[in-house]
Structure 1
Amino acid sequence: MNDITQLLQEQNALLSALLAAHNKPTLGFSDRSPGSPQWVFIGRHGDSCWYTLDKSSQPVPIAHTALTGWVVDLKFDKVTRRGKDTYKLNLTMRTDTYVYILSTGHDTCFAKSLLTSLAVISPEQLQSPITLSVTPGEDESIVWCRIYAPEYIKAPQWEQNTDFRPIAQTAINNVRVASKQGYDLGLSN
């Protein structure tokens, strides 16, 4: 009888491990070969809220509405667009095999909702994969960001005159602390 009990316990452990592996989130949304980072731009193109650029710099809408992976960097970069200097908010996410750099204007609704969410999430939560979801706004130019870690992180509301510098600094610090502490790659039992 002890042999049967032991076999049943081993079978339950294997089934539990299979179920846990099956329920892990899929990371990324691309079937391309690993290599250099894939730039993803935030903006509405038809029904899509983000896109990449093809070899001739034409937008290629991304049909997926969510990206799951580890946040590894968050920064503002100064760029020149249409002859003028501007700042872009660039978020780097790593999946199992790919790296994506999500780029948006520094003062867009997407940037503000991303920054406020990353400012309230803990560095410990950022050590595990998060899911970043895009949602279209009522206006054709608006895209919202939602973060799930693993549950939805409700970003605080902001006013038109909210100073985003301290919010951005907190979000950047949270990402830096998480990066220094390392990531849960899901490799342990």
Structure 2
Amino acid sequence: MEVKLGFGAAPKPQYVFVSKESDHCWYMLSDNTRQIPIYETALTGVITGIEVNKKVETSYGDTEKTDLQILADKPYVIRSGSESYFSKSLLLSLDVLTSEQLRHPLTIAVSPGNSNVVFCSIYDPVTYRFIGVSWDGYREINWETLGQKVSLKINRIQNLNPDTIKVSPYTTASEIHAVLIAQSDTYLAQLNWTPEQGREYLQQKYGKRSRLELTDIEILDFIDYLKFQLT
């Protein structure tokens, strides 16, 4: 990104807020907190980080938000309620993306639903391919655990220490690891891998014979490998 010398605005991230209005689904705030509608439906950039279940003080009291950080023409932070359909569809989409895909620009789009609902859609801006997700069984999903899994994957790409990621007091590290193991079970079954094939690969790649011995970083890498084999 080109750096402009001289006087100008402070280089702070631009916050973008999600809300379904009559003719737009997100907006910015001016210096005097006036809402500035954003009529474009998509923002393209490189995802640089995510914070889930972030406690934020608002005029309505403390609430939990999801902040998605994107570097485009300037840094942006898309803020949405942690319990909103936008946040949930965002997490579902980010979960199916591989680490390699997350290293490249992506297009984040807003889609209005019924009532006050806004959904998030993600596209590959080069191929125009929509990143499809399934809402099957979404009521049974542990969203806090899924959020931590997605955070771990995205922040790992940015070379951040995963030990610094905040974990919900209701979600233990072992629960997150169990979710990752279960995710790999799904892909192993789809590939029809035998236990012997799995142990052989783990031994060659990581020097370990069981997924239980893998770190979270290693098992995320293993999941990305399995996803690649499926595609």
User: What TM-score comes out, normalization by structure 1 length?
Assistant: 0.72
Could you list the per-position Cα deviations for residues 105-145 of structure 1 after superposition, in whole angstroms to 9, with x for gaps in the alignment? 00100000001111111111010000001011121x11100
Could you list the per-position Cα deviations for residues 39-93 of structure 1 after superposition, in whole angstroms to 9, with x for gaps in the alignment? 1001123211100012221211101100000000100321122353211100000
What's 2:134 paired with?
Answer: 156
- Give, as a single letter, the amino acid of the residue that structure 1 aligns with 2:153: N
Matched, 1:79 2:56: yes
CA distance in 2, matches of 1:163, 1:67: 28
- Give, as a single letter, the amino acid of the residue that structure 2 aligns with 1:154: G
CA distance in 2, matches of 1:72, 1:102: 12
* TM alignment of 1:20-169, pairs within 5 A: 35-76=11-52, 77-82=54-59, 84-95=61-72, 97-139=73-115, 141-150=116-125, 151-157=129-135, 158-169=137-148
CA distance in 1, matches of 2:9, 2:91: 30
- Give, as a single letter, the amino acid of the residue that structure 2 aligns with 1:47: D
CA contact 1:45–1:61 (8 Å) conserved in 2: no
Give the CA RMSD over aligned residues: 2.0
CA contact 1:123–1:177 (8 Å) conserved in 2: no
- Between 1 and 2, higher relative CO (CA 8 Å, sep ≥ 6) is seen in 1
CA distance in 2, matches of 1:125, 1:47: 31
CA distance in 1, matches of 2:62, 2:51: 16
Residues 98/33 of structure 1: CA separation in 2 closer, same or farther (3 Å cut):
farther
Looking at secondary structure, tell me which structure has more helix per residue: 2
Structure 1: gaps (5+ residues): 1-31, 182-189
Residues 98/34 of structure 1: CA separation in 2 closer, same or farther (3 Å cut):
farther
CA distance in 2, matches of 1:82, 1:173: 31
CA shift, 1:33, in A, is 6.5
User: What TM-score comes out, normalization by structure 2 length?
Assistant: 0.60
Could you list the per-position Cα deviations for residues 133-182 of structure 1 after superposition, in whole angstroms to 9, with x for gaps in the alignment? 1011121x11100011342111221433421122112211221122229x
Counting aligned pairs with the same residue, the percent is 32
- Which 4+ runs in 1 deviate beyond 3 A? none
Number of residue pairs aligned between Structure 1 and Structure 2: 148
CA distance in 1, matches of 2:10, 2:157: 24
Residues 134/83 of structure 1: CA separation in 2 closer, same or farther (3 Å cut):
closer
Q: Counterpart of 2:138 in 1: which secondary structure?
A: coil
What's 1:15 paired with?
Answer: none
What's 1:172 paired with?
Answer: 151
What's 2:167 paired with?
Answer: none
CA contact 1:43–1:51 (8 Å) conserved in 2: yes
Looking at secondary structure, tell me which structure has more strand per residue: 1
What's 1:20 paired with?
Answer: none
- Give, as a single letter, the amino acid of the residue that structure 2 aligns with 1:164: W
Q: Counterpart of 1:153 in 2: which secondary structure?
A: coil
Structure 2: gaps (5+ residues): 1-7, 161-231
